Amino acid sequence: MFESAELGHQTDKATFESEVPALRAALLDAQFELLDLRRFAVVVLINGIDGAGKGETVNLLNEWMDPRHIQTWAFDVPTEEESARPFMWRYWRALPPKGKIGVMFNNWYTEPIRERVERSSKRGEFDQHLAEILRFEEMLVREGVLVVKLWFHLSRAGQKKRLKDLEKDPKTRWRVTERDWRFYDLYERYREVAGHALRLTSTGDCPWTIVDGSDPRFRALFVGRTLLEALQKRLAIAQRNWVSRQTAAPLPPQIDNLNLLNALQLRQEMDKRSYADQLERLQGRLALLTRDEAFAQRSLVLVFEGADAAGKGGAIRRITSALDARQYRIVPIAAPTEEERAQPYLWRFWRHLPGHGKAVVFDRSWYGRVLVERVEGFCSEADWMRAYAEINDFEDQLVRSGSIVVKFWLAISKDEQLERFQAREAEPHKRFKITEEDWRNREKWDDYARAVCDMVDRTSTEIAPWTLVEADNKYFARIKILRTLCQALESALGA
């Protein structure tokens, strides 16, 4: 893995000075093409051994290119806000928008490797973490992001020399800490763990490039050319207006007419009085649960999906009226904003994740990817097919970080929807108006039904199951939702 990088590559001054001007010009050209196109973002990961010139190299890249369009992030110990959310949250926040380059020091590889070197994680946990990283990077690539992964390496002797040299110079002494020397003592262990990580996470789409860090001129040219080549290749593809040629594996065939939705008995009995009684009791239960001490260290992520006029808004209000206004936020999902369109699909949901003791209710959600975007053809088949796994990963991260994820699909019959549309159209209040789009969606009823069934089959997991709610009777639906929510909270909080 590290063999070539330990050969002691060197570049003499004359070669360096003759090559740099053309390299700089080419990098700058590529950067401006990237900016003009605004079709993809670039993420550069900077990892490796301390003292191998990571900081200097990034400084140099900033000098060679236009630093106004490079965003550099260095992650330290997680802050309060970061600790309350999944591990990847702070990296999602730092993703560069299309057209920009994001350089990340101490990124998602740093902690897993450090923990494994210090043996505070087991081999199995480490491999699991690496597998998650792989899936995350694969998602980035599919979303169009160019990921360049650089590993700065030094031989053991080389590292010692670098640290000593830095310590000698008063201008650089501040950069060598005790932690660096402690890590130096673990050199062999570190090399072994890193080698393992690099092997498991070098893929065709996101290979690692190992940089021999011993000679500043060599590594500068080497990194500059690596980045330039990656940029130029990706730009050439973007300029040909490239569309993903991935083909998705087919979904299972439909043999008969029985599916999850039409197996439901949509009209369930419940009279107003029984509703009022149960509503009050369940809201009381919910109020106590969300004020439970145990909830202060957890969070709640609620997802509401359903056909138009299925009663999502009404159900959400019955939940929130049992909560303290200070602890929840409702996020209605409509078309993405300009800033959201410049990011991978899930980015706009990550930005709304709740902190400890808080609840976020998504009124429509990331499932739009496999519902409306699939049915309307807003994304390719390959895009929505991969979304099932991406969503499961996302929810898995939520649950592991302490969130309680509860998802509802509100199912109504086509006739019931028609009645509700007509009732709304008779309403004088424009706030309930039915739009052309609502009528158009209705024409695609069967396509949506198919998409819903596939969605439930593929994303109802043991950690975040779907609850299908028979919703022709609003009373019944609301009570079922509240009861399911209370049960989920009780089981999660051990209350």
One-letter amino acid identity for 227?
L
Residue 443, class by beta-carbon neighbours within 10 Å (0-12 exposed, 13-18 middle, 19+ buried)?
A: exposed
Nearer to its own copies, 170 or 204 (CB): 170
Maximum pairwise Cα distance, the chain: 89
Shortest Cβ distance from residue 279 to its own copies (Å)?
13
Shortest Cβ distance from residue 246 to its own copies (Å)?
31
Nearer to its own copies, 119 or 291 (CB): 291
Nearer to its own copies, 193 or 221 (CB): 221
Shortest Cβ distance from residue 63 to its own copies (Å)?
5
Please give the order of strands across the beta sheet that includes 466-470.
Answer: 328-332, 359-363, 299-306, 403-411, 466-470
Nearer to its own copies, 55 or 402 (CB): 55
Residue with tokens 């932690």: 179
Q: Residues 229-234: contacts with CB within 8 Å, 24+ apart?
A: 230/42, 230/146, 230/148, 231/27, 231/30, 231/31, 231/34, 231/42, 231/146, 232/26, 232/30, 234/40, 234/42, 234/146
Nearer to its own copies, 12 or 66 (CB): 66
d(CA 350, CA 398): 10
Which residues, in sequence order, are CB contacts of 302 under 8 Å at separation 6+? 316, 319, 359, 360, 361, 362, 406, 407, 408, 485
Nearer to its own copies, 80 or 271 (CB): 80
Helices H / strands E in the chain, number of each: 20, 10
* Under 8 Å between Cβ of 214 and 51: no
* Torsional sign, CA 443, 449, 450, 454: positive
Nearer to its own copies, 359 or 399 (CB): 359
Output the CA–CA distances (angstroms, integers) from residue 101 to 268, 397, 408, 470, in the order listed.
55, 26, 38, 48
Nearer to its own copies, 25 or 131 (CB): 25
* Under 8 Å between Cβ of 103 and 70: yes
Shortest Cβ distance from residue 79 to its own copies (Å)?
5
Nearer to its own copies, 46 or 260 (CB): 46
Nearer to its own copies, 234 or 318 (CB): 318
Of 341, 403, 333, which is closest to residue 371 (Cα–Cα)? 333
Shortest Cβ distance from residue 287 to its own copies (Å)?
7
Shortest Cβ distance from residue 201 to its own copies (Å)?
23
**Encoded tokens for 56:** 């200097």
Nearer to its own copies, 144 or 355 (CB): 355
Look at residue 67 and give its three-state secondary structure.
helix
d(CA 83, CA 104): 19
Shortest Cβ distance from residue 89 to its own copies (Å)?
13
Shortest Cβ distance from residue 298 to its own copies (Å)?
16
Residue 147's CB: how many other CB atoms inside 10 A? Answer: 19
Q: Within 169-271, where are the H helices?
A: 178-185, 187-201, 216-239
Of 283, 213, 242, 223, which is closest to residue 7 (Cα–Cα)? 213
Residues that bind its own copies (CB under 8 A): 25, 28-29, 32, 36, 55, 58-59, 61-63, 66-74, 79-81, 103, 105, 171, 174, 284, 287-288, 291, 313, 316-317, 320-321, 323-330, 332, 337-339, 363, 429-431
Which residues, in sequence order, are CB contacts of 470 under 8 Å at separation 6+? 264, 265, 266, 267, 268, 411, 476, 477, 480
d(CA 230, CA 368): 32
d(CA 333, CA 246): 28
Cα atoms found within 13 Å of the Cα of residue 363, Cβ hemisphere only: 19
Nearer to its own copies, 33 or 127 (CB): 33
Residue 492's CB: how many other CB atoms inside 10 A? Answer: 19
Nearer to its own copies, 15 or 79 (CB): 79
Shortest Cβ distance from residue 284 to its own copies (Å)?
7
Shortest Cβ distance from residue 171 to its own copies (Å)?
7
Shortest Cβ distance from residue 327 to its own copies (Å)?
8
Shortest Cβ distance from residue 19 to its own copies (Å)?
19
Shortest Cβ distance from residue 54 to its own copies (Å)?
10
